Amino acid sequence: MRIGRFIPGWARRVAARFVELATPGNETVGTRWVRAPNLARDAEVCIFVSYAPGSEMPPHSLFHARAWAGAGFHVVIVLNTSDFQASPNLQELAFASGILIRENKGYDFGAWASALGQIPAVRTASVVTLANDSMYGPLDTFDRMVDRVREMDADVIGATESLEFGRHFQSFLLFFKPRALNSGAFWKFWAGVRAGGRIIAVYRYELSLLRAMERAGLRCTALFPSSDRRNPTLTRWRSLIDEGLPYLKIALLRDNLFKVDLRGWETVLEDRGYDTTLTTRHC
């Protein structure tokens, strides 16, 4: 007799997720450099991850990545793609210091780990930014945010702090300065990242990164601290923008899980200098 027949479907799904969390895959993920970066000592580096069907970056991702180049960062584009042999539009990506094609496995943490492991020169960078294409922006407060990061006396900086499921920095935007980049804890964390589903990325990596860095004695702070236990980018988008966060979460417009008031979001972005046709192309 199969005992599994008497276990409700929801219980089997929960059990399967716990098994996935406990035993993430250790599979090899294919990568190939289209343009390998040549980074000078003390460079400011942004490793920007984008999902790119057919290796073509969506327009909102291109706009976002170009903003980092415009701010003086050496931008390394990591294209997570389902068409590993496709060729990206090199003319569109002329601003990028590096272009890495990667099989679409392991979410953004897997992509950042792949790039970091292949760019030893980041150890000598003045700051390394990890960014992804899950946000619309940046808005006109972007330069002010970047200047804040440059001036802050911290080793690890998160854009937004969240207390949901435990204190952590939300992973759409993270900054690491020299003391972190030369910490054994930093490299141990990224060397341990494995391919897996969303639950792996969130629970095993996003929620544990801050703890690992703080246990190593690194100074960690957030540009926009949390005021409650809700996900701030999904519940208080307007106040975050008013405070100077130059982004709006794409998932908020797509899903609005918490049914927050989204009235006037187009006007808010347009008043902050953002071309909202980039959002209509993507939604």
Residue 148 pLDDT exceeds 90? yes
What CATH code is carried by the domain that includes residue 107?
3.90.550.10
- Of 40-44, 83-87, 275-279, the one with minimum mean pLDDT is 83-87
Q: What is the mean pLDDT of residues 126-152?
A: 97
Residue 15 pLDDT exceeds 80? no
Q: Residue 24: what pLDDT?
A: 46
Q: Residue 26: what pLDDT?
A: 44
Binning pLDDT at 50, 70 and 90, where does residue 202 land?
Answer: low
Residue 101 pLDDT exceeds 60? yes
Number of domains in the chain: 1
Tell me which residue range forms the domain holding 104. Answer: 31-227
Q: What is the mean pLDDT of residues 12-37?
A: 62
Q: Please state the separation of Cα 199 from the chain's center in Å.
A: 15
Binning pLDDT at 50, 70 and 90, where does residue 6 land?
Answer: very low
The answer as to whether 19 is a domain residue is no
Q: Could you give the percent of the chain with pLDDT greater than 70?
A: 85
Integer angstrom CA distances of residue 266 from 248, 257, 280: 10, 19, 10
Query: What does 187-232 look like in DSSP terms, one character per residue?
Result: HHHHHT-----HHIIIIIIIHHHHHHHHHTT--EEEEE--SSSS-H
Q: Is 82 helix (H, G, I), strand (E, B) or coil?
A: coil
Query: What does 120-176 look like in DSSP terms, one character per residue?
Result: GGGGG-SEEEEEESSEE---TTHHHHHHHHHH---SEEEEEEE-TTSSEE-TTEEEE
Q: Residue 277: what pLDDT?
A: 95
Which residue did the predictor score with more confidence, 266 or 168? 266
The answer as to whether 161 is a domain residue is yes
The answer as to whether 138 is a domain residue is yes
Residue 225 · residue 157 · CB < 8 Å: no
The answer as to whether 268 is a domain residue is no
